[in-house]
A and B are shown apart, each in its own frame.
Chain A
């Protein structure tokens, strides 16, 4: 089945230690998104790629970076995780205008110790 895969499912990292979360898709969707979601809150868009075009949300901290080396893969790099960065990180994909909504990966639960 075509899908969006996130690894790892759970990630524990030390305060200030760089961490990378990965996302891959077999849907051949043009657009890939990274969301941060904290408990009982709406998903917060961090950035998205429209093909290779990178779009950063204005309020996304510089601590968060992203790479999309090809259509299938997208990475979220957190350069110096703080305690406030503990959250669920969701990768999603959509076709060009997302008419049929987004397909989400299973998410990565990040814990910062």
Chain B
């Protein structure tokens, strides 16, 4: 079966750095996405990785290792507005998105 694992919840302090991990087992791989979802709202696109390595975009970076079936989202200089759920999703061999359940990130002052 296809499976994406990420921690259910994480807590971090404003101004700090947090790393949210994602591991996946899917039938084929055509890219990995990270989305941010605030409570009661739709997911918004953060990043896309299809090749191994680190993609940096401002305060957010995403890393991929295809051989390990592993990705992480790194958030720097945390702000209160970063409190949200972060969803990892993998596009499989049929170009269908397989979603993780999301990691709820709580930012404390």
Contacts and interface: CB of A to CB of B under 8 A. Distances in A.
Contacts of A100: 45, 48
Interface in B46-98: 48, 85, 87, 91, 95-97
B42 A104 contact: yes
Contact of A103 (B45, B85, B95): B45
A90 B42 CA distance: 7
A41 B42 contact: no
Contact of B97 (A98, A103, A107): A98
Interface string A37-77: 00011110100000000000000000000000000000000
Interface in A88-113: 88, 90, 97-107, 109
Contact of B43 (A40, A97, A104): A104
A42 B99 contact: yes
A90 B37 CA distance: 12
Contact of A42 (B30, B33, B101): B101
A45 B92 CA distance: 14
B31 interface: yes
A106 B38 CA distance: 11
B42 A105 contact: yes
A109 B42 CA distance: 10
B44 interface: yes
Contacts of B104: 40
Given A99-B31, A109-B40, A41 B45 contact: no
Nearest to B40: A109
The interface centre, meaning the residue of A41, A43, A105 with most chain B CB atoms within 10 A of its CB, is A43
A106 B95 contact: no
A103 B42 CA distance: 9
Interface of A: 40-43, 45, 88, 90, 97-107, 109
Q: Which 3 A-B pairs have the closest CB atoms?
A: A42-B99, A104-B42, A107-B42
Given A98-B91, A109-B40, 8 more contacts: A42-B101, A43-B87, A45-B97, A90-B42, A98-B97, A100-B45, A101-B33, A102-B45
